[in-house]
Structure 1
Amino acid sequence: MPDAPSEILFLRKMHPLVEAAFEGRYGVHRLAGAADAEALLAETGPRIRALCVGGAAAVDAALIDRLPKLELIANFGVGYDAVDAAAAHRRGVVVTNTPDVLTDEVADLAIGLVIATLRRIPQADRYLRAGHWPKAPFPLSASLRGRRVGILGLGRIGRAIARRLESFGVAIDYHGRRPQADVPYTYHDSLIGMAHAVHILIVVAPGGADTRGLVDAAVLEALGPEGILVNVARGSLVDEAALIAALKAGTILGAGLDVFENEPHVPGDLAALDNTVLLPHVGSASEHTRAAMAQLVVDNVVSWFEGRGPLTPVAETPWSPNA
């Protein structure tokens, strides 16, 4: 008798490429949309070898404990702050993510947000559509010329953003846990010190408890009245209440945001402000890039089940073929 197929649990609806790749190949169970999610988890939990997750679907220690045969958590996305990777590591479970394949897309969008926020592109579009142009020219905007840009988090995406910024001829600073010897940019050992030095602050650091509220009222005050905040990382890195207060008071000039603290809910006070450009978390949301992310999820799961190990394990759950 042939062995039963390995069983996988989807915590949320996955990309069609993932669904198609696993259907008929493995035993797939879907928690989202189940008539009785608790009953499904109780019945299938003892057999699940892999979880496929993404977005805000949380994987905590309690869920991991309910899956005694769990070996792999395949995260759809480069950020995995919704997964308790430390708890997974304690249980010997490997967590994978989808780095690299979305780097260029998110970096492109970050540059787009910088320019759109400085030059007020959405506001100018609304001005034209409302019929105001025949009455008066659109007001002059700020410019990227003569600006200094600070990047919070010089990882894969941060470096890709910096490379793009070089072509604009702007000075580039960065802040992270440590200086990086192989880049020509100016390092700051404190975020508030960098905020004082730059005109544009781009947030691209990982989310999680260690970075929650990192961009607070003091950082925004240091950024100053000509300052622009752009966030393409996680909404949790920015104190949203402090940001709204700073935008209303003119403490900073404007903000371009692709991420928010309580997605998909955006505070009405933030949405009402005219000195913001707000996007619904679309940094990697092109058909090309989402397909590449989905393929990497598939490749990680298939490689694991075929005994070759994970392709992109996260730092908290390192894997060695000799382990």
Structure 2
Amino acid sequence: MTPDGYCLPPRLQIEARVASPPEKASFSCEFFPPKSDDARDRFWETLDTLAALGPSFVTMTYGAGGSTRDWTLEMAIAMQERTGVPAAAHLTFVGTPRDELMTLADMLWGNGIRHVVALRGDMPPDLSWPLAPDPDYFQYTSDFVMALKERHDFDISVGAYPEKHPDAPSLSADIAALKLKCDSGATRAITQFFFENDAYFRFLELARAQGIQTPIVPGLLPIGDFSKIAAFAARCETHVPDALSAGFERLSPEETGPYATEILNCQVRGLLSGGVDHVHFYTLNKADTLADTIKACFPVKERL
């Protein structure tokens, strides 16, 4: 069963079916902090499985609202020490004083973490966007990026939104904000997940037209429970194609796993065929579907 090329721009559908992995194509993986002892054991198993396939880097995100910040930083350090894969820690600035964030940056640098994913973060109930100016707090991600870069020579990733951030007034305003982040010192932008490659390629073209030359890495989300993924996509204002929904609706539970793998393979191959040389995966701390895709689509060089 195939996804009928739904996720590919028409010009790429044929190439995606025959393309071999580019020799220089690479990937990276995002994880979130496990919440229980059992989840922690499964997390380490997942990390070991994916780290063995040779990611360029791995990242550790916050919980909702930055609720797991200290655990996030500890886990990023532990991931790097355990696997030897460069690890990045997410840092969000909203609601946290500048001085406290710089102290966290110092702690990361002192423990060998050279990569930070710099984000605004979820808005707490007592704040609204746009933030009011306050000398003790960062107002924009671009300010945060600049301060991190001045503090230490971090490799800094920022977010990008092919279908517009929900809080942005327009896509053009969102791209202007991305340019500010890139001009302030970001090394790369990693996109929100999407299910239609055309959305990424259109966004990339618009960004380049506005003078953004920083790499814009596509972020992809493997599909596990489709209903949960669809609900999450709705909250993020990420479009779910009708063909994708219909494909899962007609399948039995036993058929959804192979179909989800083929969907992800199709999307990755379409991106690589379109000139993308790096893909970032939102793992949801699961390795099964993703490991198969990495082996099928990338020149895997397993770590010993």
Do the structures match in fold with TM over 0.5?
Answer: no
- The answer to which structure has the higher helix fraction is 2
TM-score by length of 1: 0.30
Pick 1 or 2: higher relative contact order, CA cutoff 8 A, min separation 6: 2
- The two structures have a TM-score, normalised by structure 2, of 0.31
Q: Compare CA radii of gyration and give the structure with the larger one.
A: 1
